[in-house]
Amino acid sequence: MKQQRVLILGGGFAGLECAKGFPEERFSVTLVDRWNHHLFQPLLYQVATGGLAMTDIAQPLRSILSDYKNVTTLMDEVQRIDLDARQVHLKEQVLEYDYLVIALGAKTGYFGHNEWAAHTLGLKSLDDAMKIRKQVLLAFEQAECSNDPQTTARLLTMVIVGGGPTGVEMAGSLAELAQQVLKEDFRRIDPCQAKIHLIEAGPKLLATFPGGLPDYASKHLEYLGVTVHLNTSVKEVGAGYVITGDQRIETDTVIWAAGVEASGITRTLAGIPLDRAGRIQVQPDLSLPGHPEVFAAGDLVALTDAKGVRVPGVSPAAIQMGRFIARTILNEGMSVPRSSFTYLDKGTMATIGRSAAVVSFAGMHLRGMLAWLMWLFVHLLFLMGMRNRAIVFLHWVWSYITWQRGARIIQP
Amino acid sequence: MKQQRVLILGGGFAGLECAKGFPEERFSVTLVDRWNHHLFQPLLYQVATGGLAMTDIAQPLRSILSDYKNVTTLMDEVQRIDLDARQVHLKEQVLEYDYLVIALGAKTGYFGHNEWAAHTLGLKSLDDAMKIRKQVLLAFEQAECSNDPQTTARLLTMVIVGGGPTGVEMAGSLAELAQQVLKEDFRRIDPCQAKIHLIEAGPKLLATFPGGLPDYASKHLEYLGVTVHLNTSVKEVGAGYVITGDQRIETDTVIWAAGVEASGITRTLAGIPLDRAGRIQVQPDLSLPGHPEVFAAGDLVALTDAKGVRVPGVSPAAIQMGRFIARTILNEGMSVPRSSFTYLDKGTMATIGRSAAVVSFAGMHLRGMLAWLMWLFVHLLFLMGMRNRAIVFLHWVWSYITWQRGARIIQP
């Protein structure tokens, strides 16, 4: 029997789960990613703030797929998808497929203000996280070297734009870095004088969280020393400043956690409907309109599922989509009609700082220590690889006891 | 009483040990380094070959010195030392001193062939290690993508120049990477086909090791699949090739472990005698001729000590020098004559691969498993920070059990 060729673009949660779903005899699978690793994005902010090493939250794709002998992993970059010819043009080669799965993920989005990208730091990739770490740690180092109070003040002011989970987690982690981790280590400056601003356009933080959780998040961040600005839009970002409605903030460090848009490749797909953020408006079975052999999965998909739920861009949704697509392709020969994807909401959580998190899960709203322990447990569970779990756990226990962080290294 | 100002340049073993040696009341110490971290160089090759994360062997200088309240740490770069004016010009500021300690270390040396630097990778800094890791892992990734057998062969050929401890450790670690760690992970290439060449100009590897240890090292490396070339000089290194006496090797990956020379700053010191590698020929008390208030320590020093022993460029020597200088400065007011530095040789060791090392210690020559366990123990002991020790130990145990490596990530 001729093997069917499945080509998967992207080694995130969606692509990886999909790649694992095919029996060896019938399918030859190729997974393409522009990096050699799968990245656990939910812990990216801890790499950015010196808590974890970059290798702790990344796993080589080909080592994850080592036992799947029908899966070939290629580190290469997608240049163009030719839906009609059923070909994908990579930098190094052209690949043909019987089934294609587009799971290239999302990138930082600026709502049309792409010129702000030059003055801000996103948080979607390892590269982003390493840049933030370098920028933040260098700011403190430069402040210690500076003799000009105005420069020092600018260096020690950091702005985070966007009050979703990423923004909240970054703000809490940066505040604890300045207030606790660094406090004994400088002689000329007082790191506790650092100002952390969190700017949110809407009326509350963590807008998708229910009940009193958003309010708790605001209060706890303020307690950690973060200045929370609600109902505040960014008007302009330039070299050394941010302008909001009523304020100009002098800063060299602007972290942009306000929006994402789909990978640029979606805009090159002729005739495929997209939403404003470039996400593919897929069919109920996650295939592309007019192309039943092409699927999309993960956070470059815009879908309201069979139950009327808008599927969020989170890793459980990506995992579910990846598995769903593999099952759909497996069933193709069996003359069962394709089913429609439904998202199973497993709850949502965000950490705010040491011993504080918010969790919304099965109708319960949790906050504080218990929520924080749940957050730790779930994140360890979803992290790939026992070694990474053991090392991240060790980092966390160590940090909890000593108030220190293990990765405060400015990379060359 | 007026505080004496001690200025220490360099946060390696020498600088750090020196900085810790001054009582708070009498001395104000400033430590300058161009990075924010102390680096444990002996484990650098494990970062380069994907065994450890860069943060596992680096510690922030200011966190190591956190409890030494009279020590100010500055991340800045030395531009010029003005011995007569007793000033050091940094990029950001000019510092004055009563005592100066120059401990800026060594860099990769090319014996006058600086044009080879562009085609080779050194192994002296974190940056070097990350570049080697990227180059080596990318070579395997590109070979998997390539359709041209000649390109594949070139990508899978790696050359290490220099048969000292660094070269031997790199060669063993690279061979095990190709033969063991990667062997199940590729579909189009066989990583075991990778060729690792170790080139040594002299008649044996590990020339400073006694008895049968050099021979054991050669044999064990050959057993691991390394091609050892003795009595072989490099004639030329260019883009994509190395030429030795009788052979042209096509390769993109040349790791240069053949020599070091002192930090470039020594050549700017007017009237101070240097050896050919730019090392400072210090007085018996480690001070500079004509400048009793200026000392040098670590591997930028050329010294035959009071017992006639040529002091090697290793970390125990650097630690001993740093402590000696601090004691000398402390004793200055007490009208005791300065003593001469004597090096206490604590033995020497190198690892060759899993379960194999050579150790020369107190007249004993050890090899194999026992030597390897001693190597592990001593390196954990000298690594700074309990957390780093715990994490490195965990990495090692994990690697030993699984034959895997925890940091096979191509950094962005």
Of A65, A93, A141, the CB nearest to B36: A141
Pair A43, A379: CB distance under 8 Å: yes
- pLDDT above 90 as % of chain A: 90
Rounded to the nearest angstrom, the gap between the alpha carbon of residue A143 and the centroid of all alpha carbons in its chain is 30
Q: Do A412 and B126 touch (CB under 8 A)?
A: yes
Instruction: Report how far residue A219's alpha carbon sits from residue A206's, in angstroms, rounded to the nearest whole number.
Output: 12
**Which chain A residue has the Cα nearest residue B404?**
A63
Domain ranges in chain B with CATH number 3.50.50.60: 4-34+76-108+260-334
For residue A191, CA distances in Å to A154, A157, B90, B225, B235 come to 13, 11, 23, 52, 53
Instruction: Report how far residue B144's alpha carbon sits from residue A74's, in angstroms, rounded to the nearest whole number.
Output: 7
pLDDT band at B193 (very low <50, low <70, confident <90, very high): very high
Q: Do B76 and A145 touch (CB under 8 A)?
A: yes
**Set of chain B residues whose Cβ sits within 8 Å of the Cβ of A391:** 391, 394-395, 406
What's the mean pLDDT when you consider all of chain B? 95
pLDDT mean over B173-191: 96
Tell whether the model's pLDDT for residue A335 goes beyond 80: no
Instruction: Report how far residue B11's alpha carbon sits from residue B32's, in angstroms, rounded to the nearest whole number.
Output: 7
Pair A221, A228: CB distance under 8 Å: yes
Q: Do B141 and A35 touch (CB under 8 A)?
A: no
Of B58, B142, B406, the CB nearest to A409: B58
Query: What predicted TM-score, i.e. pTM, was given to this entire model?
Result: 0.94
**Set of chain A residues whose Cβ sits within 8 Å of the Cβ of B37:** 409-410
**Which chain A residue has the Cα nearest residue B69?**
A187
Question: Residue with structure tokens 């998190």?
Answer: A357
Pair B220, B237: CB distance under 8 Å: no
Pair B102, B297: CB distance under 8 Å: yes
**Set of chain B residues whose Cβ sits within 8 Å of the Cβ of A5:** none
**Which chain A residue has the Cα nearest residue B398?**
A387
**Set of chain B residues whose Cβ sits within 8 Å of the Cβ of A141:** 36, 75
Residue B334's pLDDT is what?
80
Question: What's the pLDDT tens digit per position in B64-93?
Answer: 999 999 999 999 999 999 999 999 999 999
Of A37, A75, A406, the CB nearest to B387: A406
Domain ranges in chain A with CATH number 3.50.50.100: 114-258+347-402
Q: How many CB atoms lie within 10 A of CB A122?
A: 22
pLDDT band at A2 (very low <50, low <70, confident <90, very high): confident
Please name which of B51, B133, B58, B128 lies closest in space to residue B410, comparing C-alpha atoms. B133
Q: Do A72 and B412 touch (CB under 8 A)?
A: no
Separation in Å, CA of A215 to nearest CA in chain B: 35
Q: Do A35 and B412 touch (CB under 8 A)?
A: yes
Residue A1's pLDDT is what?
63
Q: Do A145 and B75 touch (CB under 8 A)?
A: yes
- Tallying the residues shown for chain A, one arrives at 412
Residue A322's pLDDT is what?
98
Six token digits for residue A60 = 């080589």
Of A145, A187, A412, the CB nearest to B93: A145
**Set of chain A residues whose Cβ sits within 8 Å of the Cβ of B66:** 184-185
Q: Do B412 and A36 touch (CB under 8 A)?
A: no
**Which chain B residue has the Cα nearest residue A189?**
B72
**Amino acid letter for position B17:** E
**Which chain B residue has the Cα nearest residue A384?**
B406
SS (H, E, C) chain B: CCCEEEEEECCCHHHHHHHCCCCCCCEEEEEEECCCEEECHHHHHHHHCCCCCHHHHEEEHHHHCCCCCCEEEEECCEEEEECCCCEEEECCCEEECCEEEECCCEEECCCCCHHHHHHCECCCCHHHHHHHHHHHHHHHHHHHHCCCHHHHHHHCEEEEECCCHHHHHHHHHHHHHHHHHCCCCCCCCCHHHCEEEEECCCCCCCCCCCCCHHHHHHHHHHHCCEEEECCCCEEEEECCEEEECCCEEECCEEEECCCEEECHHHHHCCCCCECCCCCEECCCCCEECCEEEEEECCCCEECECCCCCECCCCHHHHHHHHHHHHHHHHCHHHCCCCCCCCCCCCCEEEEEECCEEEEEECCEEEEHHHHHHHHHHHHHHHCCCHHHHHHHHHHHHHHHHHCCCCCCCCCC
Instruction: Report how far residue A56's alpha carbon sits from residue A119's, in angstroms, rounded to the nearest whole number.
Output: 28
Question: Residue with structure tokens 């053949």?
Answer: B258
Instruction: Report how far residue A337's alpha carbon sits from residue A340's, in angstroms, rounded to the nearest whole number.
Output: 10
Pair A272, A280: CB distance under 8 Å: yes
Pair B88, B5: CB distance under 8 Å: no
**Which chain A residue has the Cα nearest residue B75?**
A141
Please name which of A294, A346, A278, A276 lies closest in space to residue A315, comparing C-alpha atoms. A346
Of A71, A186, A394, the CB nearest to B62: A186
Instruction: Report how far residue A381's alpha carbon sits from residue A376's, in angstroms, rounded to the nearest whole number.
Output: 9
Question: What's the pLDDT tens digit per position in A34-64?
Answer: 999 999 999 999 999 999 999 999 999 999 9
Please name which of B165, B242, B159, B246 lies closest in space to residue B198, comparing C-alpha atoms. B159
Pair B17, B326: CB distance under 8 Å: yes
Residue B411's pLDDT is what?
85
Q: What ipTM describes this predicted complex? A: 0.93
Residue B206's pLDDT is what?
96
Question: What's the pLDDT tens digit per position in A216-255?
Answer: 999 999 999 999 999 999 999 999 999 998 899 999 999 9
Q: Do A404 and B387 touch (CB under 8 A)?
A: yes
Question: What's the pLDDT tens digit per position in A218-227?
Answer: 999 999 999 9
**Set of chain A residues whose Cβ sits within 8 Å of the Cβ of B36:** 137, 141, 408-410
Which residues, 6 or more positions from A337, have their beta carbon under 8 angstroms from its beta carbon? none
Q: In what order do the strands lie in the sheet with B71-75?
A: B71-75, B27-33, B4-9, B99-102, B291-296, B287-288
Residue B1's pLDDT is what?
63
**Which chain B residue has the Cα nearest residue A386?**
B398
Q: Which of A202-211, A327-336, B390-399 has the lowest mean pLDDT?
A: A327-336
Instruction: Report how far residue A67's alpha carbon sits from residue A65's, in angstroms, rounded to the nearest whole number.
Output: 6
Six token digits for residue B266 = 């020594």
Q: Do A137 and B63 touch (CB under 8 A)?
A: no
Q: Which of A24, A144, A169, A236 is catalytic?
A: A169
Active site residues of B: 169
**Set of chain B residues whose Cβ sits within 8 Å of the Cβ of A54:** 53, 409, 411
**Amino acid letter for position B392:** V
Please name which of A177, A286, A270 lies closest in space to residue A225, comparing C-alpha atoms. A177
Separation in Å, CA of A45 to nearest CA in chain B: 16
Rounded to the nearest angstrom, the gap between the alpha carbon of residue A411 and the centroid of all alpha carbons in its chain is 21
- Tallying the residues shown for chain B, one arrives at 412
For residue B209, CA distances in Å to B206, B226, B232, B329, B354 come to 6, 20, 19, 35, 20
Q: Which CATH number fits domain B114-258: 3.40.50.300, 3.50.50.100, 3.40.50.2000, 3.30.390.30?
A: 3.50.50.100
Instruction: Report how far residue B323's alpha carbon sits from residue B331's, in angstroms, rounded to the nearest whole number.
Output: 12
Question: Sign of torsion, CA A373 A376 A381 A382?
Answer: positive
Q: Do B390 and A387 touch (CB under 8 A)?
A: no
Which residues, 6 or more positions from B311, have their beta carbon under 8 angstroms from its beta carbon? B301, B303, B304, B305, B317, B321, B341, B343
Separation in Å, CA of B329 to nearest CA in chain A: 23
Q: Do A412 and B93 touch (CB under 8 A)?
A: no
Q: Do B390 and A407 touch (CB under 8 A)?
A: no
**Set of chain A residues whose Cβ sits within 8 Å of the Cβ of B65:** 185
**Set of chain B residues whose Cβ sits within 8 Å of the Cβ of A404:** 63, 387
Pair B221, B172: CB distance under 8 Å: yes
Tell whether the model's pLDDT for residue A406 goes beyond 90: no
**Set of chain A residues whose Cβ sits within 8 Å of the Cβ of B136:** none
Please name which of A202, A259, A261, A199 lies closest in space to residue A234, comparing C-alpha atoms. A199
> Which of A5, A46, A52, A55 is most worth mutating to test chain B (most B CB atoms within 10 A of its CB)?
A55
Instruction: Report how far residue A138's alpha carbon sits from residue A252's, in angstroms, rounded to the nearest whole number.
Output: 11
Q: Do B185 and A410 touch (CB under 8 A)?
A: no
Pair A37, A57: CB distance under 8 Å: no
Of A35, A188, A408, the CB nearest to B410: A35
SS (H, E, C) chain A: CCCEEEEEECCCHHHHHHHCCCCCCCEEEEEEECCCEEECHHHHHHHHCCCCCHHHCEEEHHHHCCCCCCEEEEECCEEEEECCCCEEEECCCEEECCEEEECCCEEECCCCCHHHHHHCECCCCHHHHHHHHHHHHHHHHHHHHCCCHHHHHHHCEEEEECCCHHHHHHHHHHHHHHHHHCCCCCCCCCHHHCEEEEECCCCCCCCCCCCCHHHHHHHHHHHCCEEEECCCCEEEEECCEEEECCCEEECCEEEECCCEEECHHHHHCCCCCECCCCCEECCCCCEECCEEEEEECCCCEECECCCCCECCCCHHHHHHHHHHHHHHHHCHHHCCCCCCCCCCCCCEEEEEECCEEEEEECCEEEEEHHHHHHHHHHHHHHCCCHHHHHHHHHHHHHHHHHCCCCCCCCCC
- Topology of domain A114-258+347-402 in CATH is FAD/NAD(P)-binding domain (3.50.50)
Tell whether the model's pLDDT for residue A269 goes beyond 70: yes
**Which chain B residue has the Cα nearest residue A70?**
B187
- R_g over Cα of chain B: 22
Question: Sign of torsion, CA B167 B173 B179 B183?
Answer: negative
Instruction: Report how far residue A157's alpha carbon sits from residue A194's, in angstroms, rounded to the nearest whole number.
Output: 6
CB pairs under 8 A between A and B: 147
Residue A231 backbone class (left: φ over 0; alpha: ψ -120 to 50; beta: rest): left
Superfamily of domain A4-34+76-108+260-334: FAD/NAD(P)-binding domain (3.50.50.60)
Q: Do A144 and B75 touch (CB under 8 A)?
A: yes
